[in-house]
Amino acid sequence: MLDDLAPRFGWASESLRRGATQAAYELTVEPVFGGGRAWHSGVVASSQQVGVPYAGPALVPQAGYRWQVRVRDDRGQWSAWSAPATFEEGLGAAREWPAAWITGAAGAKSLPLLRRAFTLDKPVVRARLYATARGAYALRLNGQPVGDERLAPGWTDYHKRIDYQAYDVTAALREGENMLGAMLAPGWYAGSIASFGPGKYGKEPSLLARLRLDFADGSSQWITTDAAWQAHAGPLVAADMIMGEDHDARRLPAHWDEPGAAGKGWRPVRTLANADALLQAQADAPVRVTETREARRLDRQPTQGATLYDLGQNMVGVVRVRLHGKPGQRVTLRYGEMLNPDGSLYTANLRSAKATDHYTFGHDGTVDWAPAFTFHGFRYVEVSGLDDAPAASDIRGEVWGSDLPETGVLTTSSPMLNQLLSNIRWGQRGNFVSIPTDTPARDERLGWTGDINVFAPTASTLANTDGFLTKWLRDLRDTQKPDGDFPGVAPDPIGIDGGTGWADASVTVTHAVWQAYGDTHVIEENYDAMQRFMARIEAIAGPALSRTHGNYGDWLHLDDKTPLDLLGTAYLAYDARLMAGMARAIGKDADATRYATLATNAAAAFQQRYIHDGRTLSDSQTSYAMAIGMQLVDAAQATRLAGRLAERVHARHDHLSTGFLGTPWLLDALVRGGHPALAYTLLMNTDYPSWGYEVVSGATTMWERWNSLAPDGHFGDVTMNSFNHYAYGAVGDWMFRTIGGIAPAAPGYREITIVPLPGGGLGHASMRLASPYGDIASSWAVDGVHMRGDIAVPFNTTAYVTLPAARIDDVTVDGRPLTAAPGITGARADALGVHFTTGSGVYHYTATTN
């Protein structure tokens, strides 16, 4: 559902022909319901296939549309029309709906159920239910759930904007009486936020809903939340995302959401004051159950009366249980990421998060139950309060997360690396829950800007983050301070400081989304905010271009400190370079020139102040990694600095010491500076500290700290120690670009670099990426100096391939010399390898590597 009445279109075509490009397209958009007029673009001579703007008659709110496209290739051949795709317009953004925010009785002992009966006496052709809450809600219609979303409406700054959802409920309606019901919970609005307690936006949850009924006779009717609704105290004694849910089934009125349900104990709802916030159609994918996992009952059960189960994966969500009990019997579920040395559940790192659910039986027999309005970060669950321990098959893990399609997959010959890639992916799945968070387990779960700053490129290869991060950038804009600065978290109901590497997310995440998906719209949407931020950090840096901003620094480095001003100045130069590219992409050439100059000057200031005789002032691994990785120095300097970086790595017996900010650049810096073997050594290490150390220690997600679990088995600093934290997973981006070898050379992968660099003893690797232009693939195998591989390049794109060989004669494509292979142009060799260019198609190559 869109609020945007000027949407943009994109498509991917398939062609096996080499070098096939798009010469023209033709697009049609037709109304399916709700009014509006058709648009035929006519034949448009253009190669554009991403971010194509709608240019027809005004689209109509609440209307549904079908669209199709066909393309003509460079040989004049038209494709068939695409299968129809659909989209639907929302209600239109508004500050007020003609409906009331409703809730249950004040001071009730449990969370409210709300309902409204209505009668249908003529056939309905279409029914759309638009709903939102200050809090979290779940709807029921005629005894059935409406939609499969969890935690709707999602987290935003509820004082500024609230998203709403739309549900097609046509099939759930019946002639005669119908019953529409809702359950409410505090959600992020009224529930606990991090360790700061509940009620950060408001004290009690409330519902806002509008049901539009379109009848066969052409008439329509609205049913809205108003004083005609009824309320009853419900079964949820508590539902807090950090503390857990307490469900007392004795309090659930039987058949309450079914037509003809009894009216006993139901009272009129209370209506609350309107929100001043903008109501907007939800634009990102909802949180859903994305996977169900089986549990294993542990052999070792150290706690009397309690039984522990293992979900086999540090996951985020809840457990669904099948339980037998007597009325009034109370079951307790506790969750933890790890086990203590004695085999009991480890909960010390959850800090004040209780992460405990209770279920009280209402009647004899078996129930199938899962918490509805809380979630946990856990691998283990402990069940107590039953006469007999449930069978493992009665416990299932329901994985929750923003339901983003997976786009990138890399597999290698190393099981350790494959597990690392899985850990990174699970870090994203568990922490992308409406917003990108730092950790899903303890009393935190905040949208830390620094964490997504470093992780966004990896995340955007693993999954389609376009809608998700575009929505979060809106949340981030909502946090911008009058002086242009950004905080450490978004949304930010508390006021948490940001600074270098954190506040910069406005620029770096916008850039990452643009690079991954190729639509300049994200730049336009964020441009003013980014400009104000740039003005702020320029003001902080002053004429000397020295930026000291915030306190986190190279967060959680291993005793290898980098000064704040060095980090700040590096980021100033880096942001300015990204801004120059983004300004140019949206036609702001004067800005682009100004930012390019700033980038050059800040890099010069960086060199002058922090680099002497081939060393940085702090001599920290991070300082070298950023200087080289962020391209603040020229190639000759990079080589020299990388030599020193290698020494700093050797000084730690070939181990890393970088924190959140340095880690994403470390392996790039080593490769760029001429030490690819050392980069691979760091990647393949399995002793402390390293990525591989986590893997061989049994990790199934990324840890917050390199030493979250020490080699002697001790847990890291309990005041801040998460086992599901994606920041160090930023190495995924390097793995995709270097092992898979695939990176965007132009936004959206319209142009692609394919630069696979074998190393680390890997025998083979294979990567596939669903890009906006279509599937890109790169796989290779090495045997001594013999490398062979396959690449697939989508229609209408260009790939620049570089293979690690010395001479053109060392490379063949499809069994022919490189210069004679069909579809290959630009073959040349230099110190970096053998280069060639291809258009669309599938190519097989061999190379004798150097």
Question: Per-residue x/- mask for ligand RAM, residues 690 to 709, rule CB under 6 A?
Answer: --------------x-----
Residues 721-750 that bind ligand RAM (CB under 6 A): 727
- Residue by residue, DSSP assigns 213-236 as EEETTS-EEEEESSTT-EEEE-SE
User: 88 or 444, CB closer to ligand RAM?
Assistant: 444
CB of 801: closest distance to ligand RAM in angstroms?
37
Rounded CA-CA distance 475/325 in Å is 44
Residue corresponding to tokens 């779960």: 445
Residue range at the interface with ligand RAM (CB under 6 A); choices 3-11, 343-351, 448-456, 841-849: 448-456
Distances (CA, A) of 232 to 113, 115, 121, 142, 373: 5, 9, 28, 17, 18
Rounded CA-CA distance 850/847 in Å is 9
User: 246 or 451, CB closer to ligand RAM?
Assistant: 451
CB of 430: closest distance to ligand RAM in angstroms?
14
By CB under 6 A, is residue 668 in contact with ligand RAM?
Answer: no
User: 353 or 743, CB closer to ligand RAM?
Assistant: 353
User: 188 or 448, CB closer to ligand RAM?
Assistant: 448
Under 8 Å between Cβ of 355 and 316 = no
Residue range at the interface with ligand RAM (CB under 6 A); choices 9-17, 121-129, 284-292, 443-451: 443-451
CB of 270: closest distance to ligand RAM in angstroms?
38
By CB under 6 A, is residue 519 in contact with ligand RAM?
Answer: no
Catalytic residue among 88, 444, 538, 694, which?
444
- Residue by residue, DSSP assigns 414-425 as -HHHHHHHHHHH
User: 450 or 692, CB closer to ligand RAM?
Assistant: 450
User: 149 or 554, CB closer to ligand RAM?
Assistant: 554
Q: Which two tokens stand for residue 148?
A: 């499969």
SS (H, E, C) 610-658: HEECCEECCCCHHHHHHHHHCCCCCHHHHHHHHHHHHHHHHHCCCCCCC
Rounded CA-CA distance 90/282 in Å is 9
CA dihedral (458, 716, 337, 693) positive or negative:
positive
By CB under 6 A, is residue 448 in contact with ligand RAM?
Answer: yes
Under 8 Å between Cβ of 818 and 808 = yes
Query: Which of 592, 598, 593, 551 has the alpha carbon at shortest distance from 574?
Result: 598
By CB under 6 A, is residue 438 in contact with ligand RAM?
Answer: yes
* Axis-axis angle for helices 564-585, 521-541 (nearest 10): 140
**Residues that contact ligand RAM, how many (by CB under 6 A):** 10
Question: Per-residue x/- mask for ligand RAM, residues 392 to 431, rule CB under 6 A?
Answer: ----------------------------------------
Rounded CA-CA distance 78/70 in Å is 7
By CB under 6 A, is residue 432 in contact with ligand RAM?
Answer: no
By CB under 6 A, is residue 450 in contact with ligand RAM?
Answer: yes
Amino acid at 121: D
Question: Per-residue x/- mask for ligand RAM, residues 138 to 177, rule CB under 6 A?
Answer: ----------------------------------------
CB of 502: closest distance to ligand RAM in angstroms?
7
Q: Between vectors from CA 427 to CA 421 and to CA 429, what angle results, nearest 5°? A: 105
Distances (CA, A) of 497 to 203, 209, 480, 492: 25, 36, 12, 10
Residue 444 designated active-site: yes
Residue range at the interface with ligand RAM (CB under 6 A); choices 92-100, 446-454, 565-573, 574-582: 446-454
Residue corresponding to tokens 């704040």: 564
Residues 533-552 that bind ligand RAM (CB under 6 A): 552
CB of 811: closest distance to ligand RAM in angstroms?
44
Residue range at the interface with ligand RAM (CB under 6 A); choices 107-115, 445-453, 456-464, 662-670: 445-453
* β-strand pairing of 356-360 with 244-248: parallel
Under 8 Å between Cβ of 523 and 469 = no
Reduced to 3 states (helix: H, G, I; strand: E, B; else coil), residue 466 is helix
CB of 731: closest distance to ligand RAM in angstroms?
16
Count the alpha carbons within 13 Å of 800 in the hemisphere toward its beta carbon. 12
By CB under 6 A, is residue 492 in contact with ligand RAM?
Answer: no
Distances (CA, A) of 12 to 21, 414, 476, 518: 11, 33, 31, 13
Residue 175 designated active-site: no
Residue range at the interface with ligand RAM (CB under 6 A); choices 84-92, 442-450, 600-608, 783-791: 442-450
User: 361 or 448, CB closer to ligand RAM?
Assistant: 448
Residue range at the interface with ligand RAM (CB under 6 A); choices 70-78, 127-135, 302-310, 444-452: 444-452
Residue corresponding to tokens 């190559």: 845
CB of 493: closest distance to ligand RAM in angstroms?
15
Catalytic residue among 204, 245, 258, 704, which?
704
By CB under 6 A, is residue 555 in contact with ligand RAM?
Answer: yes
User: 3 or 554, CB closer to ligand RAM?
Assistant: 554
By CB under 6 A, is residue 451 in contact with ligand RAM?
Answer: yes
User: 13 or 657, CB closer to ligand RAM?
Assistant: 657
Catalytic residue list: 444, 704
Residues that bind ligand RAM (CB under 6 A): 438, 444, 448, 450-451, 552, 555, 704, 720, 727
